[in-house]
Amino acid sequence: MKQFLFLFVFALTTSFVQSQENLPTDYLTKEFHQGRREAFRNLMPANSAAVVFSYPERVFSKDVNYNYHANPDMYYLTGYKEPDAVLLLFKEPQGTEKYTEVLFVRERNAQKETWTGRRLGIEGAKSKLGFTKVYNGKDFNTFEIDFKKFDKIIYDNIPTDVEASKNIDNLYSLLQSFKTKAGIIAEDKASVDLFNNITNSLREIKTPEELVVMRKTVKLSCIAHNEVMKAVGPDMSENEADGIHAYVHRHYGAEGEGYPPIIGAGGNGCILHYNDNNATKIDNQLLLMDVGSEYHGYSADVTRTIPANGKFTEEQKAIYQIVYEAQEEVFKLCKEGTPIQDLNKRSKEVVAAGLIKLGIITDPKDARIYYPHGCSHFLGLDVHDKGNYMGTLKENMILTVEPGIYIPANSKCDKKWWNIGVRIEDDILMLKDSYENLSADSPRKWQDIEALAKQKSTFNDMKFPKI
C-alpha cells in the first residue's frame, strides 16, 4: 500500500512539473537563437571553440535565492534561462557526427521541481530550443573533447565566487571540469577579449526580432512614467512612486525591471544611482525617476524629472531647460556614421554653456561638477549593453541619450539652485540618416509634463486601510 501511495504521489508530482499553461507567446523564437549562434560562429577564427557558462544562483537570505537572472550571452545564443549549464560552439564540425554545438543543461528532478520550479531538461532543450546534441550537466565531466587541439578557446570571464559543491552537475563542477580539460590555470586575457569582441559586435546591432521586444519594453515603461506623472503629489512617497512603475510593468507582462529603480526626490535626485527610494514624502520638490522595465530579457531605460506639485519653479525650469536643450542637440547627431564619443562631447558643451549663462559656473571645465556622467550607453539585454563605444553609430543600434545636471545642497553656487537634480533619458534607435525616439510616448517638454500632471490617474482613487 505504501509503495502504491509513493508511486501515485510521484506520478502526480511528475505530471505537475511537466505541465504549464497560459505562457506568453511572444518570446524570441528558437530560430532567432539559432541564427545568433551561427552569427557567432561566423566570427570565430579557424580551429577554435567557444565556451559559454550560465550565471550562478545568488543567495538572498539564508536558504532563499534571488530570482534567477540568466546570463544575457547564454540567453542570446540559446534561449536557455536556467543555471548550471554550459554551451560549446565549434568553428568546424566535430567528430563523426559533424556537430558544431553542444548544450549541457540542468538535469530534471521531479522532487526538486516541486520546490523550485520546472526545468527544461534534455528533451525540452531539443524541442523548445532547437538543439540536437544535449546532455545533462553531469555528463560534461566524461564528455570526450580535447580542448588542447584547438588553436583558440574563446570564453568570458570565469566567475570566481561560485560556491564549491559536491554536486557533479552544478556550475562549480562545470567550471572545474572545463579548467581541467582545457588546461587553464589562469584566465587568458586574449580569449576573454575575443569573446567580448564577438559579442559586442553582435549585440550592438539589434535584429528585427529584438526590435519588436525593445519597442514593447520601452513603450510600457513610458506608460508607467506617465501614470506617475498623473498620480504624483507632495504627500506621495518615493516607494509608492516606485510601486506604480512596478505595477504597470507587470500589468503588461514584464518580468520586472532591468535595473534597481532610481526614484529620488529633491536632493536624492542628485545621487546618480540612488535606489533607497525610502523618503516618505516628496514634498514640493522635483522627482527624478530613472526606471525601465525588463520584458523577456530586454531592458528599457527611461528617465523623467517631474515637479511633485505639478508646476516647475523658475529655478527648476531653468535647469530643466538646459538638460532638454542638450538632448535636442545630441539628437541631431543620432544617425549612422557619427562617432559615438561625439554624443557625450556635444551634451557637455551645451550643459556647460547653460550653467555659465545662469552664473552657476564660470569655467566650462567645471560643468563636470554638476554633470559627472556620460551621455549615452548601449541598451538591450543589459541596461548597459554590449557594444563598441570607440566606434561609430550604425543602423539598428539602440543607445540612450541622457544628459543631466545635479546640484546638491552646499554646492558652490547660489543656494536657490540647491537640491535640484534633473536627468532626461530617452532610448534612441539609430537609422541610416536619422533616428527614432522609442520613448517618445512619455513627454519631455516641461509644458507637456505640467499638462499631463493635470490629468487624473487610475491610482488616484485607490484607497487602502490605515495601519
Catalytic residues: 63, 273, 290, 301, 373, 377, 384, 402, 406, 423, 425
Query: Is 244 within 8 Å of 220 (Cβ atoms)?
Result: no
CA distances for 261 relative to 58, 222, 278, angstroms: 20, 14, 12
Facing residues of 401 across strands?
A: 426
Terminal CA-to-CA distance of the chain, rounded, Å? 52
Q: Cα–Cα distance between 298 and 72 in angstroms, integer?
A: 9
95 CB-near residues (< 8 Å, 6+ apart): none
The residue among 282, 281, 233, 286 whose CA lies nearest residue 419 is 286
Can you state the percent helix, strand and coil of the chain, rounding each to 5?
Answer: 40, 15, 40
Q: Vertex 207, ends 201 and 208: CA angle to 5°? A: 165
DSSP 60-113: EETTEEPPP---HHHHHHH----SS-EEEEEEEEETTTTEEEEEEEPPP-HHHH
Please report which residue ranges of 358-463 form alpha helices under DSSP H. 367-370, 446-453
Q: Is 336 helix (H, G, I), strand (E, B) or coil?
A: coil
CA distances for 144 relative to 103, 139, 406, angstroms: 14, 10, 58
Q: Is 144 helix (H, G, I), strand (E, B) or coil?
A: coil
Q: Cα–Cα distance between 104 and 88 in angstroms, integer?
A: 8
* Amino acid (one-letter) located at 309: N
Q: What is the DSSP letter of 234?
A: T
16 CB-near residues (< 8 Å, 6+ apart): 114
CA within 13 Å, CB half, 380: 25
